[in-house]
Amino acid sequence: MARIIPALLLALTLALSAAQETPEPVYGGQAVVAITAEPPGWDPTVSTSQEIARVMYHNVYEGLVRIDSEGQIVPALAESWEVSEDGLSLSFTLREGVLFHDGSEFGADDVVAKFERAMDPDSGHTHPEYYEAIDEVTADGNRVVFRLSRPSSALLYNLARPDSIIYPAGTSESQRSNPIGTGPFRFVEWVPGSEVRLERFDDYYIDGVPYLDAVTFRIIGDPNARFAALQAGDIDMIGVALSPESALLAEADPNLKVTQGANTTEITMALNNTREPLNDPLVRQAITHAIDKEAIVEGANFGFGTVIGTHATPVEPYWIEVEPYPYDPERARDLLEQAGFEEGELTLSFELPEPYNIERTAGQVIAQQLTEAGIDVEVSIVEWGTWLERIFLGGDYDMTIIGHSEPRDINVYGNPDYYYHYDNPEVRELLEQAELATSQEEAMEHYREIARIIAEDAVNVWTFNPAYLVAAQRDLYGYWENQPTVAIDMTEAFVAR
Amino acid sequence: MLSYLVRRLASALSSIFLAAVLVFAALLAIPGDPAEIILGLNASPEAAAALRHQLGLDVPPVPRFISWIGGVVKGDFGDSLNYRRPVSQLLVGRLQVSVPLALAAMLIACLIALPLGILAALRQGSWLDPLIVSFAQIGAAIPSFWLGLMLILLFSVELGWLPAGGYTPWERSPAGALRSLILPAIALGLGQAAVITRMTRASMLEVLRLDYVRTASAKGLPRRRVILVHTLRNALVTIVTIIGLSMAQLLVGAIVIEQVFSLPGLGRLALTAIGARDYPLLQAEVLLYATAIVGLSFMVDVLYGLLDPRIRYS
């Protein structure tokens, strides 16, 4: 079953991307890649800002394992790993002869130092809870052993996250301004607010890569300016937040090319499951029936995307196709009547997060559809800090909409305090079983069951998975066309002029 | 004169202090927690609490304000919560972009506006005047971000003469830095030119109507001298005020242009600071703006006296 995912991904990529022969890789040259906002420093273990991981992960920093372009967990600094039969120990054989960018040698002590810091809640490390199951990390030559207090199927994936990068022991304080990793590129120059420049690391442990001499990530906040810079040839690639309008323009430009890949974003219309009348499943079902997801993909994203029916996208290993409440406005009206609401009697607030374009547009399409189904919707647009505090943390809302881009995040449905306020003991039980599972496949089967249950319960309305769009100069090749992780990995990118 | 300057300075300082108090209070009132924003959507409450403690956000507001303002007096603006670096370091880097940009925009604005405004006033009643006036009207109505994008499309995408945005630091290449500031300075300057043209024209017309101008002409002074010395000098009092205020506006209000041209200026930094609820950074920016505005209006006042001896500082 696990093999189906890469095959599916490949099929998706082939079907969607502009058919183009990739030439033989060429060495030399450089590429300029646009990002949208300035990373607040460079260490992904002190801030969860996605901009940091986008630039630094896979390019400058690496962990024991990593996510490849097909979404699989593959070796990185660890050559191989073993899980003990009882699931209580995880041992890694480290790659030998790996150098950090400062010339020092990578070794087991760096790994131990990293995870001792990561597990310490007072160290300021981003997600100590990722490593909760670990009791102790010990080193023995080039082997590192994680002893666990309980089996943890999520741990290996957590070790592939940007949070789990490894840098030289004792350098955690200086990493945010002077990053030193083991990746194919080393950090050279940062012009605050403007750009960051990486250069080829000649001692990279994988022979033959990277191809480029340098990669510059330039910060361009305005989407129109970003596209103009691409058209002017100032930049080579827009690999994040390419608007669908720009994608259409790029497709028409003979100097540019566009690829559509897969990612893990679910544009989710969240419902406050404990607030009246949304605590009534009939009302939630009615809302789901009232929404035409195909129209949202067209209206909000020019058709670039896949309709989804639960909290998973086709690249998640637990993806299932479900749609228990398909678009049916008549049925929506009936259900509302059953729930005791006459036409026009139900008014709900719908709050759209200001910084996110696709979500705002999708929200407006949805509001229109709900109105047609006899629900009055009060739409308001909410500034980001306020959204986080009042809606996300405070849970004070009826309906909102946001893209959940985190991979493997179906576990949030087991947390009744999460802003959906969804409380289902069955889901919690399944999550626990999934975490204690000793095989990935067993864990994924539990996740699939959860995906089915939350869809039946109409917890939220999962609208669509927007395509990962990249626009690039015709002569740039080898970049990732899918986005199974946030990194813009340039290891195999090259320019063939 | 001296006592005037002292009084003026005292009122300027109290305005700046008031701004400091207001921004501090305003930031307490708006929702949003820096620690939560830094840690993102999947932060655990424990991690957020630990970070809040690390950043000193668990200190009550009054002692926090006192320690902050105490630092400011000594020239220490604290560390940015988001970037975890000294605020002063961040600001100095941004000033290197914002100040040259504002100066260049003002230079462009004056080079266009002063001749046009004077010309329009002198040719009142001819075809030239309404042409210039409507030109200024259009200039004031065009949004700067649109103008910026049009400039990018023409000079970068079509002609390929100038970069479509981005910034080369002065220390790396002064020529590169200049090149990256040309288009944004034009986009910013044209809007200001429109305002200054209209003010120059109005101010000139007002002075031209005065008796002493007629007397000067009647006495047979050359027209050039009447206009440049007698009229312009007096009209300049109003024009200087407008330029001073515009300068402050250019420093503060370049946010949109900085965004369009991806320039790492003060405005864009402020925008990031608001989004991240980066209190120390935002407080320092507001103080800087307040100081710039107060300082410029102070300079305008002093210039008044030099331009018009009738204004006495008493």
Question: The tokens of A491 are what?
Answer: 């290891």
The residue that leads in pLDDT, A362 or B38, is A362
Tell me the C-alpha distance between B61 and B25, whole Å.
9
Beta carbons of B180 and B163 less than 8 angstroms apart: yes
3-state secondary structure (DSSP) of residue A100: coil
Residue B12 pLDDT > 90, yes or no? Answer: no
Average pLDDT over residues A189-215: 94
Are A219 and B269 a contacting pair at CB < 8 A?
no
Q: What is the pTM of this model?
A: 0.86
- Considering only residues 3 to 32 of chain B, which have any Cβ-Cβ distance to chain A shorter than 8 Å? 30-32
Q: Which of A48, A177, A225 sits opposite B40 (nearest CB)?
A: A48
pLDDT, averaged across chain A: 91
Whether residue A8 has pLDDT greater than 70: no
Q: Which of residues 358-397 of A touch B (CB under 8 A)?
A: 384-386, 388-390, 392-393
| Residues of A in Cβ contact (< 8 Å) with B173 | none
Residue A282 has pLDDT above 80, yes or no: yes
* Pairing label, strands A468-473, A185-191: unpaired
**Predicted pLDDT at A159:** 96
Task: Decide: A59 and A198 in contact? Cβ < 8 Å.
Answer: yes
Q: Do A234 and B39 touch (CB under 8 A)?
A: no
Using one digit for the tens of pLDDT, what is the confidence trace for A25-55?
999 999 999 999 888 889 999 888 888 999 9
B268 touches chain A (CB under 8 A): yes
B143 touches chain A (CB under 8 A): no
Residue A5 has what pLDDT?
47
Give yes or no for A406 touching B (CB within 8 A): yes
Residues of A in contact with B54 (CB under 8 A): 124
Cβ under 8 Å to A: B residues 82-101: 82-85, 90, 93-94, 97
Rounded to an integer, the average pLDDT of A194-214 is 96
Residue A275: other Cβ atoms inside 10 A: 15
Tell me: pLDDT of B40 over 80.
no
The tens digit of pLDDT for each residue in B152-193 reads: 999 999 999 999 888 888 888 899 999 999 999 999 999 889
* pLDDT at residue number A115: 96
Which residues 282-321 in chain A show a CB within 8 A of chain B? none
pLDDT band at residue A218 using 50, 70 and 90 as cut-offs: very high
Nearest to A228 among B94, B164, B269 (CB): B164
Partner-chain contact B157 A228, CB within 8 Å:
yes
CA distance A329 to chain B (A): 33
Tokens of B14: 């109290």
Is the predicted pLDDT of residue B55 greater than 90, yes or no? no
pLDDT greater than 90 at residue B271: no
Q: Which residues in chain B (151-190) have CB-CB distances under 8 A to chain A?
A: 152-153, 156-157, 160, 163-167, 169, 172
Residue A485 pLDDT? 87
Q: Which of B152, B132, B133, B154 has the alpha carbon at shortest distance from B263?
A: B152
Q: How would you classify the pairing of strands A346-353 and A375-382?
A: parallel
Beta-carbon separation of A195 and B166 below 8 A = yes
Contact A225 B262 (CB under 8 A): yes
CB pair distance less than 8 Å for A385 and B39: no
Residues A458-463: what's their mean pLDDT?
97
Question: Does the structure show a pLDDT above 70 at B107?
Answer: yes
List the single residue in B with minimal CA-CA distance to A163: B39
pLDDT band, residue B237 (cuts 50/70/90): confident
The string of pLDDT tens digits covering residues A392-414 is 988 999 999 999 988 888 999 99
What residues 49-68 of chain A have any CB closer than 8 A to a CB of chain B? Answer: 49-50
List all residues of chain A from 248 to 287 with a beta carbon under 8 Å from chain B.
none
- B227–chain A nearest CA distance, Å: 45
Q: Which residues pair with A186 in a beta bridge?
A: A199
In eight-state DSSP terms, residue A106 is: P
Residue B124 in this model has a pLDDT that exceeds 50? yes
- Test mutation, A131, A157, A194, chain B, max B CBs within 10 A: A194
Residues 47-66 of B with CB under 8 A from A: 47, 50-51, 54
DSSP A263: B
How many alpha carbons fall within 13 Å on the CB side of residue B103?
7
- What is the band of B311 on the pLDDT scale with cuts at 50, 70, 90? low
Say yes or no: A97 contacts chain B, CB-CB below 8 A. Answer: no
**Closest residue in A to B149 (Cα–Cα):** A225
Average pLDDT score over residue span B249-272: 86
- What confidence score (pLDDT) does residue B304 get? 76
Cβ–Cβ gap B84/A46 under 8 Å: yes
| Least confident among A89-93, A375-379, A391-395 | A391-395
Q: Decide if A89 touches B, using CB distance below 8 A.
A: no
Please report the number of interchain residue pairs, chain A to chain B, with beta-carbon separation below 8 angstroms. Answer: 152
Q: Which residues of B touch A219 (CB under 8 A)?
A: 262, 264
Q: For A445, list phi and psi in degrees, rounded to 5.
A: -65, -40
Q: What are phi and psi of A420, to 5 degrees?
A: -75, -20
Query: Which has more pLDDT, B106 or B55?
Result: B106
CA distance A228 to chain B (A): 7
Give Cβ neighbours of residue B22 (< 8 Å, ≥ 6 apart). Answer: none
In this complex, the residue of B47, B145, B272 whose CB is nearest that of residue A38 is B272
pLDDT recorded at residue B1 = 67
Q: Output the pLDDT for position A146.
A: 96
**Interval B219-238 mean pLDDT:** 80
For residues A288 and B140, the model is more confident at: A288
Reported as a single tens digit per residue, the pLDDT across A129-149 is 899 999 999 999 999 999 999
Note whether B42 contacts A127, CB cutoff 8 Å.
yes
Task: State residue A320's pLDDT score.
Answer: 94
Which residues of chain A have a CB within 8 Å of the CB of B31? 385-386, 389-390
* Shortest Cα distance, chain A CAs vs residue B124, angstroms: 41
| Residue B312, pLDDT score | 61
Whether chain A has a CB inside 8 Å of the CB on B235: the answer is no
A227-247 per-position pLDDT tens digit = 999 999 999 999 998 989 999
The answer to whether A197 faces chain B, any CB pair under 8 Å, is no
Choose the closest CB to A232 out of B42, B157, B259. B157
Q: Stretch A339-360: mean pLDDT, rounded? A: 91
- A120 CB near a chain B CB, below 8 Å? no
Beta-carbon contacts of residue A189 (< 8 Å; ≥ 6 apart): A196, A197
What element of type H or E holds A214?
strand A214-219
Distance CA B273, CA A394 (A): 22
In chain A, the residue whose alpha carbon lies closest to the alpha carbon of B277 is A385
Residues of B whose CB is below 8 A from A48: 38-40, 42-43
Among A146-155, A274-283, B197-206, the minimum mean pLDDT is found in B197-206
Across the interface, of A47, A122, A229, the residue whose CB is closest to B38 is A47
- Chain B partners within 8 Å of A163 (Cβ): none
**Residue type for A287, please?**
I
* Residue A135: per-residue pLDDT: 95
Residue A306 β-bridge partners: A465
Beta bridge partners of A94: A78
Q: What 3-state DSSP class applies to A349?
A: strand
H-only helix segments in A381-438: 384-386, 425-436
Query: Would you say residue A339 has pLDDT above 70?
Result: yes
Residues 6+ apart with CB under 8 A from A480: A69, A239, A261, A488, A489
pLDDT, average across residues A76-89: 93
- Helix residue spans in A120-172 (DSSP H): 155-159
Provide the pLDDT confidence category of residue B42 given band limits of 50, 70 and 90. Answer: low
pLDDT beyond 80 at B44: no
Smallest CA–CA distance, residue A421 to chain B, in Å, is 15
